[in-house]
Structure 1
Amino acid sequence: MPDAPPSPRFRIWPPIAVAVPWLVGYGLERLVGVSLDVGRWAGVVGWVLVAVFAVWNGWCLLLFARHRTGLLPGQSTSALLESGPYRFSRNPLYVGLLALYAGLALLAGSWGALVLLPLAWAGLLWGAILPEEAYLRAELGRPYEDYRSRVRRWL
């Protein structure tokens, strides 16, 4: 059996890093029995954030497909993406996941999920981004270091 190509060794799979704090926050809020009444603006902002996620992450995935590199978190990387959202963020898919998190929390009126948003951010950073950066440095070398010096981690 041939060796599998190298890939990032996540501590936490990114969707899990985002889903667990959301579900815990939402669940604790329901358990306590207190919900967030933020009014109509929350629904509008929530839907805008969900739409931003769909367009932004869809654009990123299209770029992955065009460059024939791993689409899913943890797959091996064969190309350094520097166009589209990758001009603004080294981690636009994770930025999109956090926008989705906030949008869904607002749509659900969940203060518990909103309060735990920093935990999702920290889970992505520690669980996925730091291991992924180490992998990309080892796999792509100097081109990645140059890209890293030009483009911010988040936005």
Structure 2
Amino acid sequence: MLKLKLPPPVVFCIAGLSMFALVGYDIDAGIFRFVFAGSCWFIAILNAIFALRSFKKNRTTANPHHLERVTTLVTTGVFAYSRNPMYLSLVIMLIGWAVMLGSIWTMGIIFLFLVYMTQFQIKPEEKMLAHKFGSEYKLYCSNVRRWL
């Protein structure tokens, strides 16, 4: 079982709330920012749905807390473009939120989110998957980027 400090949805919520706190309560998003943010969220949700469907189709777990239950290395669909499409969806949602909030400073929090997720979530997952799938996983990593 992967020992996580904080589950990814909690880290995502902390990042989003931190972005809001950084900007303050006076949000005056124009139509462009609203449409751009909505588009980001739409793309992110679609990406996450496709990733979850791939897990289900391959009869393997999507739960990062129980990587020991992984039965198949999923490398098709959105996983052919990103090794972490679920986490990429969270980043895309944060980018949309940053645009909605209208502050360049919120990008710093997105950067911190990327660093945290890479160090404390993705790298431990990669280690477990490399142990479980060996050369098949190493080949996948050499062909598909971690984020995009």
Q: TM-score range by the shorter chain?
A: 0.7 to 0.9
Whether 2:18 is the aligned partner of 1:24: answer yes
Structure 1: which 5+ residue stretches go unaligned? 1-6
1:146 to 128, 132, 139: 139
Cα offset for 1:70?
0.8
Specify the alignment match of 1:78 in structure 2: 71
Alignment of 1:73-112 (within 5 A): 73-76=64-67, 77-107=70-100, 109=101, 111=103
1:9 and 1:74 in contact (8 A); partners too: yes
Whole-angstrom CA distance in 1 between matches of 2:17 and 2:39: 21
1:9 to 3, 20, 24: 3
Cα offset for 1:38?
5.7
Superposed CA RMSD in Å reads: 1.9
Cα offset for 1:36?
5.8
Whole-angstrom CA distance in 1 between matches of 2:123 and 2:55: 20
Q: TM-score, normalised by structure 1?
A: 0.83
Cα offset for 1:142?
1.1
Specify the alignment match of 1:4 in structure 2: none
- SS of the residue aligned with 1:50? helix
2:55 to 64, 73, 83: 64
1:10-33 CA deviation, whole Å, 9 max, x = no partner? 343222222212212212332xx6
Specify the alignment match of 1:40 in structure 2: 31
1:87-128 CA deviation, whole Å, 9 max, x = no partner? 111111111110111223333x25354441111111111111
Amino acid at match of 1:140: F
Amino acid at match of 2:9: P
Aligned residues: 145
Whole-angstrom CA distance in 1 between matches of 2:142 and 2:107: 32
Q: TM-score, normalised by structure 2?
A: 0.87
2:4 and 2:120 in contact (8 A); partners too: yes
Cα offset for 1:130?
0.6
Amino acid at match of 1:20: I
Cα offset for 1:59?
0.3
Whole-angstrom CA distance in 2 between matches of 1:53 and 1:121: 16
- What fraction of aligned residue pairs are identical, expressed as a percent? 26
Whole-angstrom CA distance in 1 between matches of 2:57 and 2:66: 15
